Structure 1
Amino acid sequence: MPDELHRIAAIRDPFEQLRQATARITAAQEEVTELARLRRRVIEGLKDQGLSYADIAQQAGLSRGRIHQIRQQGPRPEGAFFGVGSVTIATPLKREAIRARPVVAVEDVAGAQRLGDLARSLRLEPTFETIPVGGQIDLNRPNLVVICGPRISTAVAETLAQDQRFQFERAEDGPWTLVDRESGQVYRSGQDETAPRNWDVAYLGRLPRPDRNGSVVIFTGIHPQGSLGVVQLLCNNLAEVYSATNGEDFSVLVGTEYDPDSQEPLSVEILTPYHLLGDLS
């Protein structure tokens, strides 16, 4: 009998035994899922190197059919972009302009729900939370995705400030912009141009947490339509994003053309090279 099973079986309090058995089953199920994800990633890597299913099967001691089944049915490797087992998706409350009530932007609600659906398809369990008015949020947690900008949360602003290449800056005439300090390019939302257009720019990054004990995914558009564009990028092209960043901390700018009536993205494009952040400690 494994040590952990033996320990739980020896617990005298039946309620504590039930709680710990349940927790252990949950952890074991997560471990099985992530081992299956790792196994599929290894097989895909070997295939990319030019090995056949037969070659892999012979070396691994499995049948060719089993190797093919693992690659087709195992959890998608890019799920590791969000973490292990679960993912928490946080969106901010904002003060309503007219009645000063706390509200969540419609685009943020839609984006969070779509990310939740994506997480489930990757065999991750999503949970949702709101950042209160004032922007207080604990970023020192695993598997956290934050849809929020520096104007709303000081904690988010301080985390984004680690990125020396892409920065939010106010233009001289007032609107916020995103600046690529390496190229000198300034990206301005189409809503804020002299001749307005239905286009927005967003920041997407995985950045070191304040406690330097992991990373947090943060993204936000200059306006909510840009955030929704990032969601579409992740839902449709997560494998490409994961491959390009190889699990490292990174940042990139994303442009979104959107429908003026529905506010839904019509096209989404990567505007800059992926900027791998390296060691920011």
Structure 2
Amino acid sequence: MTGEVERIAAIPDPFELLREATARMSAAQQEVTELARLRRRVIQELHHNGMSYAEIAQQVGLTRGRIHQIRHGGPAPEGAFLGQGTVTIVTPLKQEAIKSRPVVAIEDVTGAQRLGDLARSLGLEPSFESIPIGGEIDLNRPNLVVISGPRISEHVAQVLAQDRVLQFERASDGPWTLVDRTTGMVYRSGQDQKPPRSWDVAYLGRLPRPDRQGSIIVFTGIHPPGSLGVVQLLCTRIGDLFNEVKTGHFSVLVGTEYDPDTREPRHVELLTPLHRLEDN
């Protein structure tokens, strides 16, 4: 037995032993899942770079059939785009205009649920929490996906301020806009145009945590339909995004045309290239 198993086996309290054994099994299963994901990704990359399954198998002492099986089974490599193990999806509470109660935008609820389903399909375990009124939140944690912008949380605003290329900025007449500093292009939500139209723009990025000990995925539309558009993008094109940026720091602007009645995305597109934060 390993030292950890021996330690747990020696616990005299049977209920404590059960708790420890269960927790250790959960952690071990997450580790097995992430190792399988990593193994599949490496085989995929080697094969893409020109090695045959037989050549890979010869190098690592497995059969060609086993290498082929690993390549096409197990957790998808692109799951690493969201994180490892348990991914925490965070949505903001907002002040209700009439009764001043804390509420969550329906698009944020829907988006979080769909993102949770995506995480499960990629072999990850989603958990959910909210940014309270006032915007106080601990961002120095692993595997956070935060659906919020600078207006809701000063903590999130400080993370977003690290991006020198794509930035939130208030227009002179009041509404928030998104600005691409490389081109000078200013993107304004369709709701804030005259005449208004059913189109929104959103920010999506993976940025350093405040403690610089990890990363956070942050995205938000200028209005809630833009956030739902980012979720649509992730659910349909996460493989493409992962292939381009892996787990590195990046940012991009996303445009969403949506149904004016249901506010569901009709068409989602990238408005800018994927900017590498290291290149800012």
4+ residue segments displaced more than 4 Å: none
Q: Which moved more, 1:59-68 or 1:199-208?
A: 59-68
The residue that corresponds to 1:58 in the other structure is 58
Deviation at 1:172, TM superposition (A): 1.1
Query: In the comparison of the two structures, how many residue pairs are matched?
Result: 280
- 1:187-242 deviation digits (Å, cap 9, x = unpaired): 01111112222111000011111111111111000000000000001011011111
Aligned with 1:236: secondary structure? helix
- Structure 1: distance between partners of 2:151 and 2:28: 41
Query: Could you say which residue in structure 2 is the equivalent of 1:34?
Result: 34
Output the CA distance in 1 between the equivalents of 2:49 and 2:216.
Answer: 31
Q: CA deviation at 1:257?
A: 0.7
In structure 2, the partner of 1:45 is 45
RMSD: 1.3
What SS does the corresponding residue of 1:186 show, helix, strand or coil? strand
Shift of 1:122: 0.7
How many Å apart are 1:16 and its aligned residue? 2.2
Equivalent in the alignment of 1:232: 232
Deviation of the 1:11 alpha carbon? 1.9
Q: Which moved more, 1:53-62 or 1:207-216?
A: 53-62
The residue aligned with 1:164 is 164
Indicate the residue corresponding to 2:266 in structure 1. 266
Residue in structure 1 matched with residue 111 of structure 2 by the alignment: 111
Secondary structure of the corresponding residue to residue 136 of structure 1: coil
Equivalent in the alignment of 1:125 = 125
Secondary structure, in 3 states, of the residue corresponding to 1:178?
strand
Q: Please show how residues 80-99 of structure 1 align to structure 2 within 5 Å.
A: 80-99=80-99
Q: CA deviation at 1:62?
A: 1.7
Matched, 1:248 2:248: yes
- Write the distance in 2 (CA, Å) between the matches of 1:14 and 1:74: 34
Within the alignment, does 1:194 sit opposite 2:194 as a pair? yes
Counterparts of residues 189-228 of structure 1 (less than 5 Å)? 189-228=189-228
Unaligned ranges ≥5, structure 1: none
Alignment partner, residue 68 of structure 2? 68
Task: Using the TM superposition, give the Cα deviation of residue 127 of structure 1 relative to its aligned residue in structure 2, in angstroms.
Answer: 0.6
Q: Distance in 2 between matches of 1:265 and 1:72?
A: 31
Q: Distance in 1 between matches of 2:248 and 2:278?
A: 7
Structure 1 counterpart SS, 2:136? coil
User: In the alignment, which residue of structure 2 is the partner of 1:23?
Assistant: 23
Name whichever of 179-188 and 47-56 sits farther off: 47-56
Alignment of 1:143-182 (within 5 A): 143-182=143-182
Letter in 2 for 1:113: Q
Deviation at 1:53, TM superposition (A): 1.9
Counterpart secondary structure, 2:278:
coil
Q: Does 1:138 align with 2:138?
A: yes
CA distance in 2, matches of 1:83, 1:220: 18
1:68-101 per-position Cα deviation (integer Å, ceiling 9, x unaligned):
2111111000111121111000101111112221
Of residues 9-18 and 109-118 in structure 1, the stretch that sits farther from structure 2 once superposed is 9-18
Q: Give SS of 1:89's match.
A: strand
Offset of residue 57 of structure 1: 2.0
Give the CA deviation at 1:279: 8.8
Q: Deviations over 1:37-84 (max 9, x none)?
A: 011001100111112222222222222222121111110001111211
